[in-house]
Chains A and B, each alone.
Chain A
Amino acid sequence: MPDTRIKEDFLGFGLGLRTDHFEHILQHQPDIDWFEVLSENYLVAGGKPRYYLEAIAEQYPVVMHGVSMSIGSTDPLDMDYLKALKTLSNDIQPKWISDHICWTSIHGINSHDLLPLPYTEETVNHVAERVRIVQDFLGRRMLLENVSSYLSYQDSTMDEWDFLSQVAESADCLILLDINNIYVSARNHHFNPLDYLKKIDPRRVQQFHLAGHSDFGDYVIDTHDHDVPPSVWTLYQAALERFGPVSTMIERDANIPEFPALYQELLEAKHIAELTLPENAELARSSFGTRSLDGLNKQISTHYVSQQPVRAKQ
């Protein structure tokens, strides 16, 4: 059967690079497969952030993840920002570059938030055109990540998963599927998260994000300040069943624990992947946890993993 994948290599299991962990990483050189770096944090001239980033990028594969491209904005694309992104990319040679399918600024004012777009044909065309320009400028495909949202627009004429799929198809870009964001939006908008997974083209899914959130009962907020909860692990298992092995990382932006705690949480992700996709050759290439797995696997719980597939494969 021909390999119809569009996506690139499977990197294994990674973590978001956070300043709190710089020293630990350089000192202990943990066997994390890769790190995701927040692009905007390193668009500075020099100093500690750049020093640690460059030292870590020399030892680990890295990917760049941005929050300010504002790909859905009706402002012109910020070419100075894209140039800075390209310069950083030349410096640290990331495996790929991602941002969010949202808008953040208009008339030059930045909300510093990932604001939702109306899901319409007009928006599909607008965003896809801008993604094509960015990809031409960067000379590579970019990844678009689904965001958590708390409102829906009256104007929307399609579901979020159709919107994301149409933009990715039209722009020929890749997808960073945030499993937690799907869960959060599903709770806030009352859809079945498995319907979301079912509609996304597996050939375009390059990366998964896992994270925690704050559950207020009637609504859920994407806060990245908790451990990955059971509900997100379950959805992760369903995503693995649908998409196979996909480069996976855990995002933690607040209430950040010590590095070993995140390492342990990432082991849980690998363990779930191994149980869901037994004897998978790509998964076997991940060296994460091999140094410490023997000692640690006794502590890994498996109660988040369903014995039955979470959903039937398409």
Chain B
Amino acid sequence: MNINLTMIVQAIAFFAFIWFCKAFIWPPLMRAIETRQKQIADGLAAGEEGKKSLENASRQAEEQIAQARARAAEIVAQAEKRQSQMIEEAKTAAKAEGERELAAAKSEIAQEVSRAKETLRAQVAQLAVAGAEQILKREVDARAHAALLADVQRQL
């Protein structure tokens, strides 16, 4: 254990190695590590950003779907309302038409009936005249008995 020149020489070697580390080892590796750390941090931040924007997008999509759904329901309701309205209108129209036709048919029937009655009445009068002729065995002067015939016809 004796201190000698070795100490000085070792100290010089020590400083040489410190210089070497400071110049060639420490800074480049630290730079590499820090660059990578920054890259990783950036990547994580970008991932976070992406997640957030995805959330935003899905929330927007949900909102839009809800809106569309509401709009669809509204449209359907409107359509239903319109449908029942149309049915109602059709019903009313059909009823009116039916009633109108019924009335027409009724009046036609009544006309027919009265016409038939007229005809029948005439025929019955003729028959009655014919019957009377047969009974009286003589001609009935149509002109002389026109008033009588008409009277009979009216009574039928």
Q: Say whether A associates with B.
A: no
Binding site for B on A (CB under 8 A): none
Binding site for A on B (CB under 8 A): none
